[in-house]
Amino acid sequence: MRRIGRVLVSLLTLSSLLFHARARAETSQEGFPPSGAAQKCMPGAKATLLRDPDVVTLEGRRLPSMVGRPLGEIRVVALRDDRIVPIPFQIDERKADGTLVYPFGPKATRDENPLFDENDLLLFMARDTGDRLSADSLAELGPDAQEIEVSDPLVAGSRAWAYVTTAAAERGLSPVRYVQYTYDEVRKIDNIDAQHYSIHFPWGEYYSDTFFVPVSSGGDGTNFIDRFKARGTFDLLLSLVSVRITEDRMGCRVLSYIAGPIRVVRHVGYWANIGLGIRSTSFEADITYYAAFMYAPLTMRVPVRMDLVFSHAYADIGTDYNRRAYGLMFINSNNPDGTIIDGRMSPQEQALDLSMDEWRLVTGPQCTVLRGRVPQCELTQQVEISLRYVDDYKLDDPPESEPGQIGHIYDRGDVTRLRPGLYKTEITLYMPPHFHLAELERYLNVERAPVEVLVRAAGACGRAALSKSTPVSR
């Protein structure tokens, strides 16, 4: 029974990351050292990169002059307005086996090597890069400085630069933080406050019940969701016995976490309360939050053929909004004209093309939430997915925080034919600030065409190996 329970909770959580869950990070120059404290330099070339909200992620092996250095000595700087200034960055340590180190939380972990090593990660925002330093100015950053060139593969000549060095330690750190995490076991608080969105998780619960976009990011600062819903129906013994799991019967505990200025990683454990006092085996996952988007990779092992355990198994996963969401528009790749969410199913809503989409979003004065394409993988080839849409304030769908279904957009995944195996997938949600549809491609290109990164040693003229940078949580 516990094995069946593990399958249930794995499927529900995997489905929620697959089928539902993306805010341009606006760097503030506030708090940078005053102009008198920053050295005035002449640029070698002007920055032309216009990518946003991409994150640059570098493994330590690409920064050989930093390997073996104490983490506190490393700085990332950029040339902005002819002055070298520190930019926000963070270093996420990894163990020898490649797993992340989570320095905070009830089950915090530590790296056996406290120095910067080859598999540690250094992250910063592409939009925080600047002009290129001249050869003379670069020499003043010291012989260990590494030049990072970030370019847009879609726009010829679009590039900008940042510099990793230990010679700038006296300049201090940038005070800018793109995401804050409040985790308090005594007061039972579990909140994410990113630059362009905020999420509240009821203590110990699998789902979130509060989500809003601040006025400064183009939202109205009010909670517009009922809750994120995860409902699974699993029939056994030729459908003579049916097990129904909802998000209320799923538990969640933050085991440990990373909290830096670029991202927060919540390392959580999930389980399902199956009934009759039986609790499934728990499993672990990382959910990562950046200034303008959240990212969830997931690995899941299915131990047995689903059709040998269940005669029918499916999960309904999506977001139900509340009455404060009235006026939002639902738009996706199959319905580019969109439809207004108002709690009443209009003829236009009833005629929506509900075949699976490449992208979808809800947008309006309250917020914009964008989900890109679910990556094609072995899992999606086996699971039959269909899109569902209900906008009827009179049609209850308990358990819920507010009666009725307001723009309830969800996916139904039929997992009956899922075979045993190890499955990996990911999903990204964007919360673009002050969004206009003309900006859609900018966000979709974060995954379609990641920024490219070159690393050079100080004074080097040759081009180092080219790589693409994607927002990973490894």
Per-residue pLDDT reduced to its tens digit, 345-395: 999 999 999 998 999 999 999 999 999 877 777 878 888 888 999 999 999
HSE value, Cβ hemisphere, 13 Å, CA-based, for 73: 15
* Contact residues for 181 (Cβ-Cβ < 8 A; gap 6+): 191, 192, 193, 257, 259, 264, 266, 289
| Domain ranges within the chain, ordered by starting residue | 2-25+178-435, 35-177+443-468
Position 300 confidence tier, pLDDT thresholds 50, 70, 90: low
3.40.630, 1.20.1070, 2.70.98, 1.10.10: which CATH number matches 2-25+178-435?
2.70.98
pLDDT band at 241 (very low <50, low <70, confident <90, very high): confident
pLDDT in tens, 168-180: 777 789 999 999 9
Name the percent of the chain lying above pLDDT 90. 61
Sign of CA dihedral 334, 339, 341, 342: negative
**For the segment 324-338, what is each residue's pLDDT rounded down to a tens digit?**
999 999 999 999 999
What digits encode the pLDDT tens for the residues 102-135? 999 999 999 999 999 999 999 999 999 999 999 8
pLDDT at 81 over 60: yes
pLDDT of 31 above 50: no
Q: Is the pLDDT of residue 459 over 70?
A: no
The average confidence (pLDDT) of the chain is 86
Alpha-carbon distances of 408 from 4, 105, 210, 433, 444, rounded to whole Å: 29, 34, 16, 23, 23
For the segment 126-159, what is each residue's pLDDT rounded down to a tens digit?
999 999 999 888 888 999 999 999 999 999 999 9
Q: Which residues, in sequence order, are bridge partners of residue 100?
A: 94
Average pLDDT over residues 261-269: 96
Burial 142-156 (b: 16+ CB within 10 A, else e): eebbbbbbbbbeeee
Give the per-residue pLDDT at 139.
85
Q: What percent of the chain has pLDDT over 70?
A: 86
Q: Is the pLDDT of residue 15 over 50?
A: no
**109: amino acid identity, one letter:** T
Rounded to whole angstroms, how far apart are CA atoms 412 and 315?
6
Least-confidence region, from 32-36, 302-306, 366-370, 436-440:
32-36
Q: How far apart are CA 225 and CA 402, in angstroms?
A: 9
Residue 466 in this model has a pLDDT that exceeds 70 = no
| 68: confidence class by pLDDT, cuts 50, 70, 90 | very high
Residue 58 confidence (pLDDT): 98
pLDDT band at 224 (very low <50, low <70, confident <90, very high): very high
Does 407 have pLDDT greater than 50? yes
Both structure tokens of 200? 């509240």
Query: Residues with Cβ < 8 Å from 301, sequence gap 6 or more?
Result: 10, 421, 422, 423
Distances (CA, A) of 221 to 50, 76, 203: 28, 33, 22
